[in-house]
Structure 1
Amino acid sequence: MPSTVRSFSLVFLLIFLIISAAPSTALESDHKYQLGDPVTLWVNKVGPYNNPQETYNYYSLPFCHSSSNPAHKWGGLGEVLGGNELIDSQIEIKFQKNVDRILICRLELDSSKVQQFRDAIDNAYWFEFFMDDLPLWGFVGDRRPDKSNENKHLLLTHKTIIVRYNGDQIIHVNLTQDSPKPLEVGKTVDLTYSVKWAPTNITFARRFDVYLDHPFFEHQIHWFSIFNSFMMVIFLTGLVAMILMRTLRNDYAKYAHEDDDLETLERDVSEESGWKLVHGDVFRPPRNLVVLSAVVGTGAQLAMLVLLVILLAIIGMLYIGRGAIVTTFIICYALTSFISGYVSGGLYSRNGGKNWIKSMVLTASLFPFMCFGIGFILNTVAIFYGSLAAIPFGTMVVVFVIWAFISFPLALLGTVVGRNWSGSPNNPCRVKTIPRPIPEKKWYLTPSVISLMGGLLPFGSIFIEMYFMFTSFWNYKVYYVYGFMLLVFLILVIVTICVTIVGTYFLLNAENYHWQWTSFFSAASTAVYVYLYSIYYYHVKTKMSGFFQTSFYFGYTLMFCLGLGILCGAVGYLGSTLFVRRIYRNIKCD
């Protein structure tokens, strides 16, 4: 027993260390320096500029560096998953001490090194450094025509680091390069650096503003898209309220009329059609109940997760820290697993499900294992290429520990609570023993067409925001307008609910009572249109190339669309459930 307690203590200590490292924004002590204090320049990664995920260790190129083991900097789980590996450059920099041109090392160029540098220059390789958690970027080299009008490969050998400070804090860093030297076998080139310090009036709290592209994200088209989506919400909710509620009110009046003579009643009964006729089947348990319960529970969790992460990003400016968003997402996913268990357990129990353990295990593992499957394939590709995008085995263990010791138990607890608190069947209408035959209807009233068309309007409401998000993730822009994202997310939820309710009403009027999966797929089809848009974006808006980047682009996008589809599907199903229960609550169920 004591050994078990110690094991759990070690696990929770590990998890606590992961969570505490999540912000990753104050690892350089307190960001305060005294005159002459050493300032570390960290080298990070290098890779083709057009392929953001294809990154390698900085020293995978034959840059000279000390033979001793340099220090590594670990900034949290999200940083590792983001493909960062910070290594001490061992370049001597001291606070407020200017450095004239100083030799880093002499690089002897043999045929292998020349070929590596030439390949890097041909593929527009860029590199990333960090100083006091502020990034610096530069290109490895350049190609310029010589006298014979042929492109010559030039290595940029001198780096000038310009550092601006306010008091005892570093505010801004910039890197410029010059002294291009031709790459010729047998030559020796000197790699040098210099450091210039300059004061500034910018405060420490505003030091990250220089990396934010305000004209791009706060362009008029972004504001217009929000306004356009908001008007769509008003129109759609008004349409649902005016048309559906008016129709239902008329149906109620005719259905509840008790004073007609026998002839009128017989005529009304003979003309009776639509959603009222299926009241004995509309609450029949859906097919594949365990799967539906799992995806609806997972979608409810993802909806709460997205809302929570956006709010934390607005409050805490998570875009500043390397990998902070990813770390926050993983930890919050684990902590919100109770929601998925609660929703799934209640839904499964209300529909008469008996194998609740199977439902609970599927709910807890469905989305993580789908992501793991995609991630495993991408990780294999990254390992084959020797890229920093490959996730170390230790990081995989940490992620598994978080899932096994936080997410899974909370999902189990949520399932038990959901079964006991919200698992009692309380349908407004009794389910008949014999299922009613479904009449054949027009093609546009079939579940497949309703499902496919249901995602168009929700996709239209987020279309512009998808462009900004894709551009941010794949084109080196820091996404910081989480207020916009919050508004777009709320608009997406409202539009999805309204569209799914309309689709469910059309389906029930067609006397088809299989509305559960239809309402889910009607909302989830939004993700299909997002994925189709991603194909267009890849071919038209980017210059990505190669198997590595293509697999990562479509793999990450597939992971995102799976989550979006499950989220929207759950929102649509839950909204339709409330609608169906509401309309059948006021009719006489025999």
Structure 2
Amino acid sequence: MKLIWFVNFMFILYCVKGDEQNHKYEDKEEVLLWMNTVGPYHNRQETYKYFSLPFCHGQKAEISHYHESLADAIQGVELEYSGIDIDFTVDMPRSKVCEMDVNEEIFQSLKYAVDNHYWYQMYIDDLPIWGIIGEIDNAKDYYIWTHKKFDIGYNFNQIVDVNLTSESKTKLSVGSKLSFTYEVKWKPSTVKFSNRYEKYLDPNFFQHRIHWFSIFNSFMMVIFLVGLVSMILMRTLRKDYARYSKEDELDDMERDLGDEYGWKQVHGDVFRGASYPMFFSSLIGTGYHLTFVGFLVIVSTIIGDLYTERGSILTTCIFVYAATAPVNGYFGGSLYSRQSGKGWIRQMIFSTAMFPMMVCGTVFLINFVAIYYRASRAIPFTSMLSVAAICIFVILPLNLIGTVLGRNISGNPDYPCRVNTVPRPIPEKKWFMEPIMIIILGGILPFGSIFIEMYFIFTSFWAYKVYFVFGFMFLVFFILIVVTMCVTIVCTYFLLNAEDYRWQWTSFLSAGSTAVYVYLYSFYYFFFKTKMYGFFQTTFYFGYMALFSVSLGIMCGTLGYIGASLFVKKIYSTVKID
């Protein structure tokens, strides 16, 4: 246990440590310019090391290449020192960085970059800067921007603004000479350090009237569904209770001759354990876990404005996922115990490894493509070992603790009806009442409540937008929970009324089918809303969208199961069962 707590403590220290700089400078103190990545403009995730193109370093001594955090390594941040001399509040006139002779190899490399609209990214004091490499004129001649002009704003002893202007367009040809230069202008600014990231935000895009309308429309959907569920509970079930109470007053012969039908008839099988209980309970535990992680990360980002610091959101996700691992063990282990599962250790290990293995497997395959392309998105082996260590030494022990607590606190069955020894035959029913149809249709309304938000989230991740409206995301998250539960309750009622007691998997899959519609929408977004191209970007896009969709499906499926489970326990606990 001491080892576990030590690893947890070290992991927390690793995650919460900030940038090595404290963002405060003295006059004439060195300011580092970090070169990050280059890549085609339309393929944001297809990035390469800045110096993978034949750019030359500045004359100043190099600082070794490093990743500041695990999140940087995973996101493909490749910080390399530029060698350009910049000192705080010291203007630098036009100065030479380096010069190089263009041979055939350099010409072809830069020509390819210009043809594909390559942009590059740099960082000064954790503020990102973007610039374009070159352009083609009407005569099809290639030009390279060789001069970088930095206008840096400072407020007291902190940098609050950085602007880059590319100048000196030089024609690119074999045998020519490229002379790269730079200059720095420092200007006092009234911008507060806490507000310096606002220039990168786009309020007109994210706070558009369509965004507000989608939230309002989703709230109307919530009101409608809550009303529908209330009607089922208050009116339809009241009639069912009255009918069943009348049947209870009849003698056995009259009851046998009566027309028995409806959800009461499956009371002896409705609490029967789901098929594949280990897999099912692991999915439910993982769904609870992902729901907690999503909620805590959204709230943390709203409170702390995490989007302003590079890699902070991903670091928070990793930390919160590891710290809340007992949630997975508690709910998954208790459900498996209530279903009379015997191999609880295997279930605990499977539940712990299922989602990380799915993530690592997908990333591992994509990593092969990134390594082949020599892209910066290739995750280093040491980072993979770090993730494996977190899973083994942090997540697994915490999951074990949660499993033990779950089995002892809520592991005993508390069903209002006893389970029959022999399963009841499931009668034939109309095609639209079959579980497969309920599963297909169950995800439409939840998807309808979030698909506008999906557009904004996709645009922020796959295009050059910074997502900052996490208040909207929190509202959509709440709406998704309510809509998913309400829809699943309605689907479960119809299924049970058709005397089909297979509600556990049906409720999970009907809510989880939301992810199928999200993934189908990702195809539409890729082909009609972006200009992405190439095997690398296509693999990266659809691989990570599949991972996102599966995660969303597990979370929505768990929410659906939670709503259906509460509904089933409620209606059967108020019915007199002989």
TM norm. shorter chain > 0.5: yes
Correspondence for 2:525 among 534, 537, 547: 537
* Residue of structure 2 in register with 1:233 after alignment: 222
The equivalent position to 2:449 in structure 1, one of 461, 468, 481, is 461
1:237 Cα deviation after fit: 0.3
Q: Which residue of 1 aligns with 2:432?
A: 444
- How far apart are 1:258 and its partner, in Å? 7.4
CA distance in 2, matches of 1:259, 1:426: 24
Shift of 1:17: 3.8
Paired residue for 1:404?
392
Q: Distance in 1 between matches of 2:245 and 2:288?
A: 36
1:57 — aligned with what? Answer: 49
Which residue in 2 is equivalent to 1:144? 137
TM-superposed deviation, 1:90: 1.5
The C-alpha deviation readout for 1:307-339, integer Å capped at 9, x for no partner, is 000000001111011111111101111111100
Check whether the contact 1:524–1:569 (CA below 8 A) recurs between aligned residues. yes
Whether contact under 8 Å (1:81, 1:323) holds in the other structure is no
When residues 437 and 134 of structure 1 are mapped into structure 2, their CA distance, relative to the original with a 3 A threshold, is same
Comparing 463-472 and 176-185, the one that deviates more? 176-185
Correspondence list, 1:53-202, <5 A: 53-65=45-57, 69-145=62-138, 150-202=139-191
The aligned counterpart of 2:209 is: 220
Partners in 2 of 1:224 and 1:542 — Cα distance? 24
SS where residue 544 of structure 1 aligns? coil
For residues 283-294 of structure 1, the aligned pairs below 5 Å read: 283-294=271-282
Consecutive unaligned residues of structure 2, counting only runs of 5 or more, are none
Cα deviation, residue 244, structure 1: 3.8
Q: What is the identity, as a one-letter code, of the residue corresponding to 1:232?
A: M
Q: Distance in 2 between matches of 1:450 and 1:580?
A: 17
The one of 34, 37, 58 aligned to 1:42? 34
Shift of 1:262: 5.3
1:146-190, Cα deviation, whole Å (9 max, x unpaired) = xxxx31110100010111111111110010111111111111121
- 1:205 corresponds in structure 2 to 194
What are the Cα deviations for residues 532-565 of structure 1, in whole angstroms up to 9, with x where unaligned?
0000000000000000000000011011011100
**Per-residue deviation at 1:567?**
0.3
Change (3 A) 1:213 1:540: same
Partner of 2:377: 389
SS of equivalent residue, structure 2 residue 268: coil
Percent of pairs identical after alignment? 53
Report the AA paired with residue 82 of structure 2. S
Mapped to 2, the partners of 1:259 and 1:524 lie a distance apart of: 38
The more displaced of 517-526 and 247-256 is 247-256
Query: Residue 151 of structure 1 aligns to a residue in which SS?
Result: coil
Aligned to 1:248, which of 218, 231, 237? 237
2:343 is the counterpart of 1:355: yes
Name the CA distance, whole Å, in 1 between partners of 2:477 and 2:358. 23
Tell me the residue number matched to 1:296.
284
Within 1, Cα distance between the matches of 2:305 and 2:403?
34
Q: Is the CA contact 2:4–2:397 (under 8 Å) kept in the aligned structure 1?
A: no
CA distance in 1, matches of 2:127, 2:187: 16
Deviations 1:216-243 (A, max 9, x none): 0011111111111011001110111013
Q: Quote the RMSD (CA, aligned, Å).
A: 1.7
1:479 corresponds to which of 454, 467, 479:
467
Give CA-to-partner distance per residue, 1:268-299, whole Å, 9 cap, x none: 96122010111111111111011110000000
The answer as to whether partners of 2:58 and 2:97 remain within 8 angstroms in 1 is no
SS at 1:46 equivalent: strand
Q: How many residues align?
A: 577
Are 2:31 and 2:88, in contact at CA under 8 Å, matched by a contact in 1? Answer: yes
Equivalent pair of 2:42/2:532 in contact (CA under 8 Å): yes
Structure 2 letter corresponding to 1:571: L
Shift of residue 463, structure 1, vs aligned partner: 0.8
- Deviations along 1:116-161, one digit per CA (max 9) or x if unpaired, are 000000000000010011111001111112xxxx311101000101
**Contact 1:346/1:423 (8 A) holds in 2:** yes
Alignment-mate amino acid for residue 510 of structure 1: A
One-letter code of the match for 2:16?
Answer: S
The secondary structure found in structure 1 opposite 2:63 is coil
1:570-585 matched pairs, under 5 angstroms: 570-585=558-573
Contact 1:79–1:324 at 8 Å: present in 2 too?
no
Could you tell me whether the CA contact under 8 Å between 1:233 and 1:491 is conserved in 2? Answer: yes
Change (3 A) 1:243 1:261: closer
471-480 or 244-253: which moved more? 244-253
Q: Check 1:273–1:133 CA distance in 2 against 1; reply closer, same or farther (3 A cut).
A: same
Aligned partner of 2:11 in structure 1 is 15
**1:318-373 C-alpha deviation (Å, 9 max, x unpaired):** 10111111111011111111001100111011111111112111111111101111
Moved more, 253-262 or 517-526: 253-262
2-structure distance, mates of 1:342, 1:589: 31
TM-score (structure 1 length as normaliser)? 0.95
Letter in 2 for 1:288: Y
1:206 Cα deviation after fit: 0.7
Aligned to 2:366: 378
> Does the CA contact (< 8 Å) of 2:281 and 2:336 recur in 1?
yes
How much has 1:261 moved relative to structure 2? 6.2
Report the Cα distance in structure 2 between the residues aligned to 1:479 and 1:362, rounded to whole angstroms: 34
Question: Shift of residue 16 of structure 1?
Answer: 3.9
Q: Which amino acid aligns with 1:124?
A: H
Displacement after TM superposition at 1:13 (Å)? 6.3
- The aligned residue for residue 500 of structure 2 is 512
Q: What's the TM-score, normalizing by structure 2?
A: 0.97
Question: Which residue of structure 1 aligns with residue 540 of structure 2?
Answer: 552
Report deviation, 1:589.
2.1
Counterpart CA distance in 2 for 1:314 and 1:429 is 44
Which residue identity does 1:270 align to in structure 2?
G
Answer whether contact 2:289 2:327 (CA < 8 A) is retained. yes
Q: Helix, strand or coil: the match of 1:492?
A: helix
Q: Give distance in 2, aligned partners of 1:341 and 1:10.
A: 21
Query: Deviation at 1:96?
Result: 1.4
In structure 1, what is the Cα distance between the partners aligned to 2:166 and 2:511? 51
